[in-house]
A = this chain, B = another copy of it.
């Protein structure tokens, strides 16, 4: 993989850190360097191989960890606006009396600033790419693009009228518009995102799947998040949500099924057979008391599982370092087996696994020559990261997002020394505080 000999100049050399490549061999380089030209990684290797290189800019990791940016495979970014608005409530009370009324007040401006706030939080905590499902996704794409983040975005589609686009036909028209507008964008990928089997009639789902496959885009959907959802589907259709999707011919390798908490053995076999990707959201599933997804079993079957935070109203933050920690621990206690979900497995889920889940593994998710430069530096000279026996262990079990000091996305430095370079944080906080007052009055 080392191509230090092939190229003697770079725009940026990220150097003097332990490089976790997260490549197919999980190659780790003590005192390594990553060379970037424009938006692309051109070489990864031992720092000594770069001694003769010229670079416009050298970023010194000072002995920290140089790794791929983390990937959040499922969120509703603008729900930052509802962070802590209502917690600790029965699900239906929470939705009907708090979240739905708040969402009814959403508009373009609110979603834009809510998403900007989410981007600020994500960049500061080491996330370089996120997958969004919400309303007004045109401004979600705008906000992510301005923030310099890589994002997969799609307008949520369901049977009833949307507060944004109205009837479903306009939802599809809007999605088509997004696809055309963002085609070939270096950062933004549009996805087709029907909400869930229980809120989408067969016709909607078939049409969405066709639109995704015709445009070679991901199809993203909530699946089997709660027991009550699965029961309702069984009552209505006589099958589980996964069986329902299978019978509609919608299961495929470009489908990302979010949550997958309540799964039968047959469901798991179907996910495996069709190479469906899964987004695992442990903290949200815990907070809403939905259940625990059988992730170790999914991984054993070779199913690709990425991590996600879900929205801020059921988490309540977007810090993937904390999500990794929770995922690693939750499945241990759930299976009474301390060996499942080891640190490296969880780290893969949040990097190359997440990229694969989103169909972006050719361009991001690992530090390899030819990939886009989505790179973060974790400062390990902190009490809670001392001493350092195994970097993977610290990243999963001891680190937090606040340990990330530098973030580079698509070759652009978007955060340095904990300071955001692409977002006016003061402005975003002021606007969101104003919006919060509008929401509760």
Q: How far is it, in angstroms, between the C-alpha of A85 and the C-alpha of B390 when the chains are bound?
A: 7
Q: How far is it, in angstroms, between the C-alpha of A48 and the C-alpha of B155 when the chains are bound?
A: 49
Q: How far is it, in angstroms, between the C-alpha of A142 and the C-alpha of B326 when the chains are bound?
A: 34
Residue of B nearest to A85 (CB): B389
Give the chain B neighbours of A343 by CB distance below 8 A.
87-88
With A383-B124, A389-B84 known to touch, is A289 a contact of B333 (CB < 8 Å)? yes
* Contact with A332, one of B83, B287, B428, B432 (Cβ below 8 angstroms): B287
With A85-B389, A393-B84 known to touch, is A125 a contact of B384 (CB < 8 Å)? yes
* Structural contact, B89 and A339, CB atoms closer than 8 A: yes
For chain A residues 261-300, which have a beta carbon within 8 Å of chain B? 283, 285-292
* Contact with A84, one of B291, B338, B398, B440 (Cβ below 8 angstroms): B398
Chain A residues bordering chain B, tally (CB within 8 A): 72
Q: How far is it, in angstroms, between the C-alpha of A238 and the C-alpha of B160 when the chains are bound?
A: 62
* Structural contact, B433 and A387, CB atoms closer than 8 A: yes
* Contact with A337, one of B289, B318, B339, B425 (Cβ below 8 angstroms): B289
The reply to whether the CB of A374 lies closer than 8 angstroms to some CB of chain B is: no
Give the chain B neighbours of A433 by CB distance below 8 A.
386-388
Residue of B nearest to A118 (CB): B383
* Structural contact, B289 and A90, CB atoms closer than 8 A: no
* Structural contact, B286 and A117, CB atoms closer than 8 A: no
* Structural contact, B383 and A425, CB atoms closer than 8 A: yes
Closest 7 CB pairs of A and B: A387-B436, A84-B393, A286-B329, A88-B342, A402-B402, A316-B397, A121-B383
* Structural contact, B338 and A90, CB atoms closer than 8 A: yes
Not counting A88-B341, A316-B394, A400-B401, a sample of 18 additional A-B residue pairs whose C-beta atoms are within 8 angstroms of each other reads A83-B386, A83-B394, A84-B387, A84-B388, A84-B397, A88-B343, A120-B383, A283-B329, A288-B332, A289-B336, A292-B333, A317-B398, A330-B330, A383-B425, A386-B432, A388-B436, A389-B436, A402-B403
The reply to whether the CB of A319 lies closer than 8 angstroms to some CB of chain B is: yes
Q: Among the interface residues A85, A285, A329, which one has the most CB atoms of the partner chain B within 10 A?
A: A329
Binding site for B on A (CB under 8 A): 80-81, 83-85, 87-91, 94, 117-118, 120-121, 124-125, 283, 285-292, 312, 315-319, 322, 325-326, 328-330, 332-333, 335-339, 341-343, 381, 383-384, 386-390, 393-394, 397-398, 400-403, 425, 428-429, 432-433, 435-436, 440
Q: How far is it, in angstroms, between the C-alpha of A410 and the C-alpha of B380 when the chains are bound?
A: 30
Give the chain B neighbours of A381 by CB distance below 8 A.
429
Residue of B nearest to A124 (CB): B383
Q: How far is it, in angstroms, between the C-alpha of A391 and the C-alpha of B337 when the chains are bound?
A: 36
Please list 16 pairs of residues, one from A and one from B, whose beta carbons are closer than 8 Å in the complex, sorted by A's number.
A80-B386, A84-B387, A84-B398, A87-B390, A89-B339, A90-B338, A287-B329, A287-B333, A289-B332, A289-B338, A317-B398, A319-B400, A384-B401, A387-B433, A388-B436, A400-B402
